[in-house]
Structure 1
Amino acid sequence: MDPHRENGQSDGPNPKKQKPSPPPPITDDEILAEFSHHDPSVARINNGSFGSCPSSVLSAQSDLQLRFLRQPDHFYFNSLQPSLLRSRSLIRRLVNADDVSEISLVDNATTAAAIVLQQIQWAFAENTFSKGDAVVMLHYAYGAVKKSIHAYVARAGGHVIEVPLPFPVHSEEQIVAEFRKALDLGAAGGRKVRLAVIDHITSMPSVVIPVKELTKICREKGVDQVFVDAAHAIGNVDVDVRDIGADFYTSNLHKWFFCPPSVAFLYSRKSPASSGLHHPVVSHEYGNGLAVESGWIGTRDYSAQMVVPAVLDFVARFEGGIEGIRTRNHEKVVEMGKMLAEAWGTCLGSPPEMCCSMVMVGLPGCLAIENEGDATKLRTHLRDEFKVEVPIYYNSLRTGCCGEERNGSSLVTSYARISHQVYNVENDYCRLRDAINKLVKSGFNCGMLSSA
């Protein structure tokens, strides 16, 4: 007797197992349920500031937190590092890094900047770099990063140069031209440019920067190291760190990638420069490489760094995954930006191809926003009186909206930065439109608001 037949096996080939059908795309009602913890009375068109985390990911995070509290020693010795490694491995594939050792998980992009700048500070302190050597950054660099550059680099003897970018901006060529000038200035008098800090997406005003081209220019001009601050990038634009070619690249995972706050990754390309990176918080893993050091900086809540698999499960419910999400977000925010600009007689701050899931829309000049304080007051007024949450940017270096277009007889001096994420609906933007139109019709200007 054939033993295979006796065991219920056939001589022929095994039948192919049918792959399970993919689940149907997420519905509008399911999206609403995932973000039901948002305040329903607020038109939240400011995903760019703090991001958003769906309920399913929050549930996964809560499970991890309870697992730690239930038996901390078991969690630390058996679960924490494998979970962090899995998150790092998933991020490595998403951003096309060569090796998982190049990916570290940290609290946020500001922490990542501190890690890179700390190394630059040591190079000045140890005379590896000469006093007066330069660090170049964009004028529109994020405020905390600009202050970090001055705190770490200027105090150590470095010369800080800001690239004055135009706004509104009409083409990438404008940015490239100004960047070349700044690098030439940095190298004047025999100085060396030791570091270039380049935003992938500037925060305020929001513009997508041609980071690959600027990195290439840095290589041509002999800049030692390139750090791309891409706080808004992952989940918002395509990220391929090998293609971009920078030494260091960081992006928050809690802004546009649906993680809970706060978590970011720092990519550090394998090189002599990256071998000297250390986490600013020194703990037991010091000297074992940045990725390992960052995986334990003392007792804290690491759950935000461990939920990347749950985030990928969430985005897989959308047609096209994260690529489909960012494409639809971009298309919708440009559509809403154009609608607002037409309603207010203004314009967008940059061409659609230089926008991401955030767009700058000129506000009517008659609102009389004359400084950053006025912008803050108007933002607060919109929040308190109209339940609309949107950042307002005062354009101190303005050249005019779309060149020299004017709103009535008043030059546009400020812009609203609108975001679009999967939970947003068209009515959110209509509420902003109607609030501004009501203020304009009533003869309102920012001088009427108290400073309190």
Structure 2
Amino acid sequence: MASPQPLNGATPKPKPITPSEISAEFSHHDPTIARINNGSFGCCPSTIIAAQQNHQLYFLEQPDNFYFNILKPSILKTRQIIKTLINADHVEEISIVDNATTAAAIVLQHTTWSFFSTLFQPGDAAIMLHYAYGAVKKSVQAYITRAGGHVIEVHLPFPLKSNSEIIVEFRKALQMGKANGRKIRLAVIDHITSMPSVIIPVKELVQMCRDEGVGRIFIDAAHAIGNVNIDVKDIGADFYTSNLHKWFFCPPSAAFLYCKMSDELSDLHHPVVSHEYGNGLAMESAWIGTRDYSPQLVVPEAMEFVSRFEGGIEGIMRRNHKKVVEMADMLAEAWGTELGTPPDMCSSMAMVGMPACLGIKSDADALKLRTHLRVCFGVEVPIYYRAPVEGEIDPITGYARISHQVYNTVEDYYRFREAVNKLVKDGVNCTLLPLCEGYAQLLQMLLKSSLPVLCISYCSAVDV
């Protein structure tokens, strides 16, 4: 018997996804790990993995048909969806690339050519945040300095109390960059910084750059889509990129690069030169040789997945933000610490201060603690080291960057809380933890065996 149709002819709304269905979608996650680090690699539901595998099979069954008849229309569909999601004017402004680092290479390559063509002068500057993602910082240095340009970093304080602190420091850096008649040719601004994680007031900084005559503005928004609302016309930058595999449920790796329609658009090229060279960046990016394009083709299925949640992707973002702030407050209260930023500067990630008695005194200590939490307690969370300011007494120098995505449960954060409580109770100091792959591998092997485990780092039996 056919299902009754709505009287008005409208398509019936799908039933909201249930907690058990969410668990099933992420049943491939390691159940022994409290995975509160969605920010690094994202996540991909089973239904989207199945869609990706279908695309892979289409290619393997008949590669010529896939190349000539399926690939380009499918990527165009992805571009059209992204255009709508970010409020771009033209689909020609959207290119699909591997990741935000690739997008940065495209923009920086274009900037480098301007130095080589004498459009820019030696000593002209590029400006970026000190918080910028490590790979992008190295990319800026590699491209700009080798072309004869000067790189200026905006040093921001942390913890942060308000956007005004960011705006003040950015204005200072702009004035420094313009000293001695030098021109600032490129600004690289994060929408959401990675470590420490902070929402940056990009619209205000873009306007400041325009007022100060900065030539081009590139927003590195690797964490943005699926995490905060994006309106590229309102933001007003020349270039904007975001990964689709971090917070938008696509498999790695896939990203988009928005390039504001201008005469310069025709001069942008993908770093990998292939058969589509000269046909526009979007076409060049759509084919860079034989490789797996399937992560870039499942955006329609990602849209179907988020539509199963109340409020769609906007509802997911609201709930993730609310929950991560709630969990961050819970952890900070348990440890007697504080958040690194106010809630309105958090996205679906939050920075939580860790007990000072853990003795996090370097980046190496932070990495050792992260490894120890993973291996001995089954908690995956990045740890950020903040150098103390002169005169501080018992400063918080370690912050955990916790994420919240739809698969997380409160038990994940309780496990993290209890792990840190145990470390504090046992008097663990991070400087005494070993830092070596062999240590992690040995403990992993022992933990998988039936043997009792003695944590060699602080001579205390570990509950597993």
Aligned to 1:435: 419
Aligned to 2:127: 136
In 1, Cα distance between equivalents of 2:162 and 2:69: 52
- SS of the residue aligned with 1:422? coil
In 2, Cα distance between equivalents of 1:181 and 1:300: 45
In 2, Cα distance between equivalents of 1:214 and 1:114: 22
- SS of the residue aligned with 2:84? helix
Deviations 1:120-165 (A, max 9, x none): 1111111110000000000000000000000000111001000000
Aligned to 2:58: 67
In 2, Cα distance between equivalents of 1:398 and 1:338: 24
Task: Provide the TM-score with structure 1 as the length reference.
Answer: 0.94
Aligned to 2:206: 215
Deviations 1:281-305 (A, max 9, x none): 0001111110010000000000000
Point out where structure 2 has 5 or more consecutive residues left out of the alignment: 1-5, 437-464
Tell me how large the CA RMSD over aligned residues is: 1.2
In 2, Cα distance between equivalents of 1:396 and 1:323: 36
- SS of the residue aligned with 2:126? strand
2:153 pairs with 1:181: no
2:92 pairs with 1:104: no
Point out where structure 1 has 5 or more consecutive residues left out of the alignment: 1-14
Work out which of the residue numbers 231, 234, 249 in structure 2 matches 1:258: 249
Aligned to 1:299: 290
Work out which of the residue numbers 68, 71, 90 in structure 2 matches 1:80: 71
In 1, Cα distance between equivalents of 2:121 and 2:377: 54
Distance 1:60 1:76, change over 3 A: same
Aligned to 2:406: 422
2:5 pairs with 1:48: no
Distance 1:399 1:52, change over 3 A: farther
Work out which of the residue numbers 160, 169, 184 in structure 1 matches 2:151: 160
In 2, Cα distance between equivalents of 1:266 and 1:155: 24
How far is the alpha carbon of 1:275 from its aligned partner? 2.3
Question: Aligned pair count?
Answer: 431
Q: Is the 8 A contact 1:167 1:399 kept in 2?
A: no
- SS of the residue aligned with 1:379? helix
Amino acid at match of 1:174: E
Q: Is the 8 A contact 2:112 2:147 kept in 1?
A: yes
Write the mapping of 1:29-48 to structure 2, written as runs, cut at 5 A. Answer: 29-48=20-39
- SS of the residue aligned with 1:153? helix
* Structure 1 stretch displaced more, 32-41 or 270-279: 270-279
Q: Is the 8 A contact 1:48 1:232 kept in 2?
A: yes
Aligned to 2:3: none
Q: Which runs of 4+ in 1 moved over 6 A?
A: none
In 1, Cα distance between equivalents of 2:266 and 2:159: 40
2:434 pairs with 1:450: yes
In 2, Cα distance between equivalents of 1:428 and 1:398: 32
2:197 pairs with 1:206: yes
Aligned to 1:356: 347
Q: Is the 8 A contact 2:332 2:339 kept in 1?
A: yes
In 2, Cα distance between equivalents of 1:367 and 1:398: 18
Deviations 1:427-449 (A, max 9, x none): 00000000000000111111221
In 2, Cα distance between equivalents of 1:317 and 1:398: 47
In 1, Cα distance between equivalents of 2:262 and 2:123: 25
In 2, Cα distance between equivalents of 1:447 and 1:293: 49
How far is the alpha carbon of 1:17 from its aligned partner? 4.8
Question: Identity over the aligned pairs, expressed in percent?
Answer: 67
In 2, Cα distance between equivalents of 1:225 and 1:121: 12
How far is the alpha carbon of 1:39 from its aligned partner? 0.3
In 1, Cα distance between equivalents of 2:207 and 2:396: 35
Amino acid at match of 1:78: N
Task: Provide the TM-score with structure 2 as the length reference.
Answer: 0.92
